[in-house]
Amino acid sequence: MSAAPQVETLIEQPGRRPDIEKELSEKYHVKFTYRESVPLDQFDKKRSLHNQARFEAINEDTVATYAEAVGRGDDFPAVLAYRPTARGRLVMVDGNHRYGGFEKAGQQGIPTYEIHRDTDRATIALLTFSMNTRHGKPTTEAERIQQAIYLIEAGASNAAAAAAVNLAPRVLTRALAARKADQRADEVGLKRTEWDALGQTVKSRLLNISTDEGFRTAAELAYQAKLDANQVFDLVQLLNATKSSKKQLDILKQQRDIYQDRIQAKGGGVLGTASRRKMTPKARVATALSMTLAIPEADEAILQGYAEPERKDAAANMRKAAERMSHLADLLDPKRR
């Protein structure tokens, strides 16, 4: 790690803050210059308001409060800004509301820490989000989630991004999972009105389905049959017993038969907890078929799973089940006898 840059001796000036200067130099290894009063017209106001720190770039009530305080002569920490080009105007890293307060109060200049131009853009982004989390109008959790995702996409680790914006790691983990699920839903062509109607727990569980075909069809079924989180959990386990998209679709056809009455009654709709009805004979057959289709193609592993005394009984039950299914198949399709 490189040594912290040298910082000019701190003198008693209203806008200077030892804690900020220490953080800039020792934590971020950023060089900067303190300027007691930078004319407001040296800032690129439009670009400063698009620093991606907040959904609402400026809160007018906060600006009005700051303007009153400036008018009373209250001291404010210097804003933090950088100059993208040698002759360009300053862009705010932290301090849009303070700038607005000074402007509204009729001030001509504002105390400023100007970050040196050799600072890389990733550090600028990290400073923007970190400082805005702690200074001025507090950022919302949703804003901090967006900031953390931006930092991760710029190369930061999950832990570093969460720490930079003061976000609980578990909140970021859930948000990343939700983002991943939404992206997959878009990739497989799900209707967003239907996908967005599903609960977040249901979405997260559907994301675990191994094939895109199974994921898409299961999501459609979850929406149309109003499956709850537990039912989706069972469905995902059933589907992932096979990695074949064709077998997963066959299983889902059987599952659709199981929930057909509910689908017809609801006509599709938003997700909700549905009452469990007694299964009809048709639904029982569909359940049995789903389970049979989900049996993995691992004959040797299945064989090893049965102890020697169990094998004859298991084989007898399987033959009985096969005979029953064969009989039903002949009833349903007599021409195939």
Share of the chain above pLDDT 70, in %: 87
Q: Does residue 10 form part of some domain? A: no
pLDDT at residue 202 tops 80: yes
Rounded-to-10 torsion of CA 164, 28, 31, 6 = 140
Task: Assign 5 a pLDDT band (cuts: 50, 70, 90).
Answer: very low
Q: Does residue 4 form part of some domain? A: no
> What separation in angstroms does the CA of 88 have from each of 26, 44, 50?
27, 8, 16
pLDDT at residue 295 tops 70: yes
Separation of alpha carbons 132 and 129, rounded Å = 5
Pairwise pLDDT comparison (140 vs 65), residue with the higher score: 65
> What separation in angstroms does the CA of 203 have from each of 117, 193, 194?
44, 13, 11
Q: Does residue 159 form part of some domain? A: yes
pLDDT at residue 122 tops 50: yes
Separation of alpha carbons 283 and 261, rounded Å = 10
Q: What is the DSSP string of 100-143?
A: HHHHHTT-SEEEEEEEPTTS-HHHHHHHHHHHHHHSSSPPPHHH
- Would you put residue 310 in left (φ > 0), alpha (ψ -120 to 50) or beta? alpha
Average pLDDT, the chain: 82
pLDDT at residue 313 tops 70: yes
252 shares its domain with 217: yes
Per-residue pLDDT of 70-92, as tens digits, reads: 999 998 999 999 999 888 999 99
Residue 137 confidence (pLDDT): 61
Separation of alpha carbons 82 and 116, rounded Å = 7
34 shares its domain with 157: yes
Mean pLDDT of 262-290: 61
pLDDT at residue 268 tops 50: no
308 shares its domain with 267: no
Share of the chain above pLDDT 90, in %: 36
Let me know: does 240 contact 216? Beta carbons within 8 Å.
no
109 shares its domain with 123: yes
235 shares its domain with 318: no
Which structural domain, as residue segments, surrounds residue 312?
302-337
Q: Does residue 183 form part of some domain? A: no
Domain count within the chain: 3
74 shares its domain with 88: yes
Task: Assign 40 a pLDDT band (cuts: 50, 70, 90).
Answer: very high
At 207, phi and psi to the nearest 5? -60, -25
